[in-house]
Amino acid sequence: MDIKVLVPIAQGTEELEAITIVNLMRRAGIQVKIAGENEIVTCARGLKILPDILLDKLDIDLQFDAIVIPGGEFGTINLSKNEYLEKVIKEHKKQGKFLAAICAGPSVLVQYNLIDDDAQLTSHPTVEHLFENHQFTDERVVIDKNLITGKGAGAAFDFTLAVITKLCGEEVSKKIAEDTFYIL
């Protein structure tokens, strides 16, 4: 399997979401690259993550099958201010590739004007007001074409398994759920 995923993080990223995304995807055999704004990223609850690469060192032509954005209020604010990440994500979407974001993560995509008005999505209630022009739902996970969104940290497993299903198929996703004793 040669599936590649980018997970951008910044100071204040919600670590439960970031770690769940990276852990489950790597269990599925997905090549995950964590890109951070600093060499050490301090997450929302103080956990420190050493990114694989700095955001500003990413090659804009580097090909990923998906970009998956974890939430965290301050993490997403910091990501949405990163002009280089914006260029990378816009190029990714222009190529018709898959995006996913959980919790406050969809706010980064709306800040970059990357969510179609008719898109169905969900997010953490604190950023729900940003999606007045979209079809917002209160579901834990929403799949709409090449966009998957998740409600928050409590939905991190469901969200990540939906992403794995999209990238690797239902059989792989079910295997990860079984291997981790996750009850579907």
Output the domain CATH number for residue 90.
3.40.50.880
Segment 9-23 shows an average pLDDT of 98
58 within some domain: yes
- pLDDT value at position 133? 83
8 within some domain: yes
Q: Which domain, by its residues, includes 124?
A: 4-179
Report the number of distinct structural domains present in the chain: 1
* Token pair in block for residue 181: 């004793």
User: What 3-state DSSP class applies to 11?
Assistant: coil
Average pLDDT along the chain: 94
Side-chain half-sphere CA neighbours of 47 within 13 A:
14
pLDDT bracket for residue 45 (50, 70, 90): very high
84-103 confidence digits (pLDDT tens) = 999 999 999 999 999 999 99
Segment 52-80 shows an average pLDDT of 92
149 within some domain: yes
Query: Under the phi-then-psi rule, with left for phi > 0, alpha for psi from -120 to 50, and beta for the rest, what region is 138?
Result: alpha
83 within some domain: yes
Segment 75-86 shows an average pLDDT of 95
143 within some domain: yes
- pLDDT value at position 63? 85
Segment 52-62 shows an average pLDDT of 86
Closest by alpha carbon to 86, among 118, 120, 110? 110
DSSP state of 116: -
Segment 50-70 shows an average pLDDT of 91
Active site residues: 103, 124
Q: What are phi and psi of 175, to 5 degrees?
A: -65, -40
- The percentage of residues in the chain with a pLDDT greater than 90, rounded to a whole number, is 88
Segment 68-85 shows an average pLDDT of 96
- pLDDT value at position 58? 87
- pLDDT value at position 8? 98
184 within some domain: no
Tokens 């590739």 locate to 97
Are 3 and 63 in contact by the 8 Å Cβ rule? The answer is no
110 within some domain: yes
134 within some domain: yes
Query: What is the reported pTM?
Result: 0.96
